[in-house]
Chains A and B, each alone.
Chain A
Amino acid sequence: QKEVEQDPGPLSVPEGAIVSLNCTYSNSAFQYFMWYRQYSRKGPELLMYTYSSGNKEDGRFTAQVDKSSKYISLFIRDSQPSDSATYLCAIGRGGKLIFGQGTELSVKP
């Protein structure tokens, strides 16, 4: 079993839709949770990070962590074509980050 599981997609939605991206993890020792966006042939860009269960909002993005279920989510409201990218969850402990496989998102105009 992988330490972090993420559905690779691809996921295609119309412009303006609410997007839900999810990851599950296996080890309750993980301490911090991040979401990165990666455009094709580019390095990942940090979107959100959180350390506790609950929601964290930043503009159109909301990160949600449920430690009891070992489940994290990223919600994108009013999705735009420019949001089309691969979204990677990353979960950390002891200074190391472990990445999910990434979900490829396409937002159609």
Chain B
Amino acid sequence: GAVVSQHPSWVICKSGTSVKIECRSLDFQATTMFWYRQFPKQSLMLMATSNEGSKATYEQGVEKDKFLINHASLTLSTLTVTSAHPEDSSFYICSARDPRRETNTEAFFGQGTRLTVV
């Protein structure tokens, strides 16, 4: 399947600092990428849809000023958690659809980033 790479795989940061997570599509160009958050033994919750060259679309209840999304190129989207607090500690996962696929609906996921805010 298509390859989506996410970096870093884990990060620990101090409260009040900002953390940037990168999501790259390695073998295809993705005009749309998705960012999810997952708590232990919970489902994936969609945070926002990242659109190349335009503003991200955030889901209800997600603070756009806290979770900054940039999709500057067709292969890279970034999520920046600003002024992180311990409650932001979670597993963040990105996904992208491969436009080469006939139906363009199957989403491929990155490896995930475990964020711990201390």
- Chain A interface residues (CB < 8 Å from chain B): 6, 8, 32, 34, 36, 41-46, 49, 51, 88, 90, 92, 95-102, 104
Contacts and interface: CB of A to CB of B under 8 A. Distances in A.
Given A100-B43, A101-B43, A46 B112 contact: no
Interface in B31-53: 32, 34, 41-46, 49
B79 interface: no
Residue among B32, B41, B110 with most chain A CB within 10 A: B41
Given A41-B114, A51-B103, A46 B108 contact: yes
Contact of B109 (A6, A32, A44, A51): A44
A8 B41 contact: yes
B115 to A, nearest CB: 12
Interface residues of B, number: 25
Give the top 3 A-B pairs by smallest Cβ distance, nearest first.
Answer: A43-B109, A43-B112, A99-B43
Contacts of B111: 42-43
Interface of B: 1, 4, 6, 32, 34, 41-46, 49, 91, 93, 95, 103, 105-112, 114
A32 B112 contact: no
10 contacts: A6-B43, A32-B103, A32-B105, A41-B112, A44-B93, A46-B109, A49-B106, A97-B46, A97-B107, A102-B42
B103 A42 contact: no
A41 B111 CA distance: 8
Contacts of A34: 106-107
A88 B114 contact: no
Contacts of B103: 32, 51
Contacts of B110: 43
Contact of B105 (A49, A88, A104): A49
A90 B43 CA distance: 10
A96 B93 CA distance: 15
B86 to A, nearest CB: 19
A45 B109 contact: yes
A24 to B, nearest CB: 14
